[in-house]
Amino acid sequence: MKSIRGNNPCAGMRGTVLLLLFYASTLLLAAVIAPMLFFGAKYCAEIFSGGPFQHFMGKGFCKFFDRARLIAFAILLVPFVKISGVKISRDPWFRKVSPLRALWTFIAGFVLLCALFAWFDRDIAAGAFKCAAGKVLAAPLTAKLMLGAVAIGLCEEIIFRGFALRLLLMDFKMPFAIAIGSLFFAHCHIGASAAVKISPADVTIFSGFRCLVPAAFGSGGISDLQNYANLVAFGTVLSLLLVRFGSIWYPIAYHSGAVFAIAAHRAVARTIPGYHCCGALSSSAAFAVQILLILLLSSLPINSGKR
């Protein structure tokens, strides 16, 4: 497993530096975008009372910052791809795969997360869960949740595996690039909301900058270690799916299936009085299962991605 920089001793740490610049730029842009999103949602909530914007306002300002960071990732991805010289459109990792294989990978991610939820929440009455599921997971909501899950899987995999991992491979051999990329993936998912509390009444056009330092250096404490470890393991599984099967569509499908399971579980949980919605990716069981997946994927041969 060699770095794509080959034997060029002058390559330096160009890929890593570009990745750090990319991340710093997204934070700065998110600090500007977040208040705009917040005041836009506030204005719409006042006009369309009782609509979805009321739900957004109840999430707190730091949730707007997290969403703004995703928007900033998308905006800055194209210019940084051009600067880096990474040819995403010609990259063998972006080759097409059979729709059936992608579907099976999506189902695998969905079923695995559902199984973890079922195990972790096995004390919930099956009848109540089945009744709630029948009401909540109707066709329109299911389609909405699935569309959102696919969008998240597609965007995040292009950013973290298609771009960030390629940059790291300029400087590191494959195992180290995957490890660092997974740490970066987990860090970006922890967010700033755990450390920064900004009430709606206190939001100004400068509030986004109050989230910069916690977001850049991490906001998690001891309580976040389990969640962070699971996110690192999840990112490693996604990277290994790409490396072992040679196409980014495998981690996209698996990621989308997992997010769909999480979204469906939360939708069902909200309909059951007194139900505590626990996170499958915060449990020790999830970490153990993902370690087994990592060991399994690590034992498979590498697909070079060539047609």
Pick from 302, 260, 288, 300: nearest CA to 103:
260
Does residue 307 lie within any of the structural domains?
no
pLDDT digits (tens, 9 = 90+) for 175-189: 999 999 999 999 888
- The answer to whether residues 300 and 243 touch, using CB atoms and an 8 Å cutoff, is no
Least confident of 37-41, 78-82, 268-272: 268-272
Alpha helices in 196-248 (DSSP H): 207-210, 212-217, 225-245
pLDDT at residue 250, as a whole number: 96
Does residue 123 lie within any of the structural domains?
yes
Residues 6+ apart with CB under 8 A from 237: 254, 290, 293, 294, 297
Pick from 70, 19, 27: nearest CA to 184:
19
Pick from 40, 30, 98: nearest CA to 65:
30
Better pLDDT: 225 or 273:
225
Residue 10 has pLDDT above 70, yes or no: no
Does residue 2 lie within any of the structural domains?
no
Alpha helices in 158-283 (DSSP H): 165-168, 174-190, 207-210, 212-217, 225-245, 249-269
What value does the mean pLDDT take over residues 71-81? 92
- The answer to whether residues 282 and 222 touch, using CB atoms and an 8 Å cutoff, is no
Better pLDDT: 225 or 2:
225
Does residue 303 lie within any of the structural domains?
no
What average pLDDT does the chain have? Answer: 81
Task: Quote the domain boundaries for residue 146.
Answer: 14-298
pLDDT at residue 295, as a whole number: 94
What value does the mean pLDDT take over residues 210-238? 81
The domain total for the chain is: 1
- The answer to whether residues 281 and 234 touch, using CB atoms and an 8 Å cutoff, is yes
pLDDT at residue 105, as a whole number: 94
| Rounded Cα–Cα distance for residues 152 and 260 (Å) | 10
Residue 273 pLDDT level (bands cut at 50, 70, 90): low
pLDDT at residue 25, as a whole number: 96
| Rounded Cα–Cα distance for residues 45 and 41 (Å) | 6
pLDDT at residue 137, as a whole number: 66
Residues 6+ apart with CB under 8 A from 262: 113, 279, 280, 281
Does residue 102 lie within any of the structural domains?
yes
Q: Quote the percentage of the chain above a pLDDT of 70.
A: 77
Residue 45 has pLDDT above 70, yes or no: yes
Does residue 55 lie within any of the structural domains?
yes
What value does the mean pLDDT take over residues 268-288? 70
pLDDT digits (tens, 9 = 90+) for 106-140: 999 998 887 877 776 655 545 555 666 666 667 77
Does residue 304 lie within any of the structural domains?
no
What value does the mean pLDDT take over residues 79-100? 85
- The answer to whether residues 228 and 190 touch, using CB atoms and an 8 Å cutoff, is yes
Q: How far is CA 142 from CA 26, 148, 237, 261, in A?
A: 31, 10, 26, 11
| Rounded Cα–Cα distance for residues 177 and 185 (Å) | 12
pLDDT at residue 198, as a whole number: 81
pLDDT at residue 248, as a whole number: 94
Q: How far is CA 4 from CA 15, 167, 170, 273, in A?
A: 11, 9, 6, 53
- 36-43 LR contacts (CB < 8 Å, sep 24+): 37/64, 37/67, 37/68, 38/64, 38/200, 38/203, 38/207, 39/203, 42/200
| Rounded Cα–Cα distance for residues 273 and 277 (Å) | 11
What value does the mean pLDDT take over residues 25-30? 95
| Rounded Cα–Cα distance for residues 72 and 258 (Å) | 24
Residue 26 has pLDDT above 70, yes or no: yes
pLDDT at residue 231, as a whole number: 92
pLDDT at residue 12, as a whole number: 67
What value does the mean pLDDT take over residues 279-290? 77
Does residue 305 lie within any of the structural domains?
no
